[in-house]
């Protein structure tokens, strides 16, 4: 099953394995990122802005929407105010960690039994956006400053800053959590980071400036590229495939829809959410097999 958040349409949709829509849930504007809680079998969706997009938006959102996939109904809308601008999120046991743009940039933690805030860890940067987390540490991608933040989830404090070239976008951990992959914001670089020491092992040069990062079960890393973005005249985006061990680019450019954001995969395919489409890429040929029409502003993509 494919779960997709649609920022412009203010919907969360579910597709079956044959890409047929099985549910469409209307949410407050604008849903950006979702995470599935396997213990409670619930979906959590962040409402980031009321309108617009990063750098050009109206009021920030102050909600997390809870959806029950058994009935495809909203069971609760969590008001997180005075926290605002929630974006990426991660379920760790009985806690939900949420990156927020408010409070000078912070990581908010909610108790998933009560949905009450436990507190927040200051990141002290503008534009914290993406998140990767384990049970003990969290990493945030910070658009406006040249480092990735490392946060201690046990002692609930900032731990370290890992230098990047211009800023950082998306982050994803390897399957065993030993490696963190992070994309630079304005330079064509993928950073490979040792999570034991929280230091960079190497930089991988990419064919274009990166955005989202997705680690395949083979260890290869899929990176999305926006190209030039104009809201009224969107240009096609692309994805590349990197081998972080060798630093080589396995596939340089696979054309997908404009502004590719959500990336997911299974054993046979890579799925890429873009402005209003999902591209289905064959992992044997690295060709686009089909393009699925989606609601406007397709953002996060989760495969259950």
Q: Residue 113 is encoded by which pair of tokens?
A: 């039994």
Q: What percent of the chain has pLDDT over 90?
A: 90
pLDDT of residue 46: 98
CA angle 209, 214, 216 (to 5 degrees): 130
- How far is Cα of residue 222 from the mean position of the Cα atoms in its chain? 13
Half-sphere exposure (Cβ direction) of 266: Cα atoms closer than 13 Å: 10
In the 3-class helix/strand/coil scheme, how is the chain assigned residue by residue?
Answer: CEEEEECCCCEEEEECCCCCEEEEEECCCCEEEEEEECCCCEEEEEEEECCEECCEECCEEEEEEEEECCCCEEEEEEECCCCCCEEEEEEECCEEEEEECCCCCEEEEEECCCCCEEEEEECCCCCEEEEEECCCEEEEEECCCCEEEEEECCCCEEEEEEECCCCEEEEEECCCCCEEEEEECCCCEEEEEECCCCEEEEEEECCCCCCCEEECCCCCEEEEECCCCCCCCCCEEEEEEEECCCCEEEEEEEEEEECCCCEEECCCEEEEECCCEEEEEECCCCCEEEEEECCCCEEEEEEC
Question: Any idea which of 50-54, 194-198, 238-242, 284-288 has the lowest mean pLDDT?
Answer: 50-54
Confidence of residue 228 (pLDDT cuts 50, 70, 90): low
Q: Is the pLDDT reported for residue 281 higher than 90?
A: yes
Average pLDDT over residues 190-217: 97
Q: Report whether 210 contacts 225 (CB < 8 A).
A: yes
Q: Is the pLDDT reported for residue 234 higher than 90?
A: no
pLDDT tens-place string over residues 12-40:
999 999 999 999 999 999 999 999 999 99
pLDDT of residue 227: 77
Between β-strands 60-68 and 56-57, what pairing exists: parallel, antiparallel or unpaired? unpaired
Average pLDDT over residues 165-186: 96
User: For the purposes of burial, counting CB atoms within 10 Å of the CB of 77, is it exposed (0-12), middle (13-18) or buried (19 or more)?
Assistant: middle
Question: How many CB atoms are closer than 10 A to CB 37?
Answer: 15
pLDDT tens-place string over residues 77-125:
999 999 999 999 999 999 999 999 999 999 999 999 999 999 999 999 9
Average pLDDT over residues 271-292: 96
Confidence of residue 230 (pLDDT cuts 50, 70, 90): low
Q: What is the pTM of this model?
A: 0.95
Q: Report whether 35 contacts 44 (CB < 8 A).
A: yes
Half-sphere exposure (Cβ direction) of 195: Cα atoms closer than 13 Å: 22
pLDDT of residue 49: 86
Specify the residue for token string 């591209």. 279
The CA distance from 262 to 302, in Å, is: 8
pLDDT of residue 229: 59
- How far is Cα of residue 29 from the mean position of the Cα atoms in its chain? 18
Q: Report whether 157 contacts 137 (CB < 8 A).
A: no
pLDDT tens-place string over residues 121-159:
999 999 899 999 999 999 999 999 999 999 999 999 999
Average pLDDT over residues 55-83: 93
pLDDT of residue 50: 87
| Gyration radius of the chain's alpha carbons | 18
């Amino acid at each position: 099953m494919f779960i997709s958040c649609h920022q412009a349409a203010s919907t969360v949709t579910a597709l079956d394995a044959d890409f047929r829509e099985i549910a469409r849930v209307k949410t407050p504007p604008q849903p950006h990122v979702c995470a599935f809680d396997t213990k409670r079998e619930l979906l959590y969706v962040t409402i980031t802005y009321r309108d617009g997009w990063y750098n050009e938006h109206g009021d920030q959102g102050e909600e997390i929407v809870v959806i029950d996939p058994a009935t495809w109904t909203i069971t609760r809308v969590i008001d997180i105010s005075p926290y605002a601008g929630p974006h990426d999120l991660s379920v760790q046991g009985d806690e939900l960690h949420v990156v927020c743009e408010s409070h000078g940039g912070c990581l908010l933690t909610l108790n998933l039994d009560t949905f009450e805030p436990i507190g927040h860890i200051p990141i002290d940067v503008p534009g914290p956006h993406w998140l990767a987390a384990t049970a003990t540490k969290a990493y945030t991608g910070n658009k406006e400053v040249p480092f990735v933040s490392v946060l201690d989830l046990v002692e609930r404090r900032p731990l370290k800053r890992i230098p990047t070239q211009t800023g950082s976008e998306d982050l994803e951990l390897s399957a065993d959590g030993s490696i963190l992959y992070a994309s630079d914001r304005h330079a064509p670089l993928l950073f490979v980071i040792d999570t034991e020491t929280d230091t960079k092992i190497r930089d991988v040069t990419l064919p274009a400036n990166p955005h989202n990062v997705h680690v395949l079960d083979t260890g290869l890393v899929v990176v999305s590229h926006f190209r030039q973005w104009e809201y009224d005249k969107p240009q096609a985006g692309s994805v590349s495939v990197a081998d972080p061990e060798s630093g080589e680019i396995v596939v340089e450019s696979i054309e997908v829809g404009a502004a590719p954001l959500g990336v997911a995969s299974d054993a046979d395919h890579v799925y890429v959410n873009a402005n209003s489409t999902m591209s289905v890429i064959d992992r044997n040929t690295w060709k686009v097999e089909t393009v699925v029409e989606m609601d406007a502003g397709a953002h996060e993509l989760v495969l259950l």
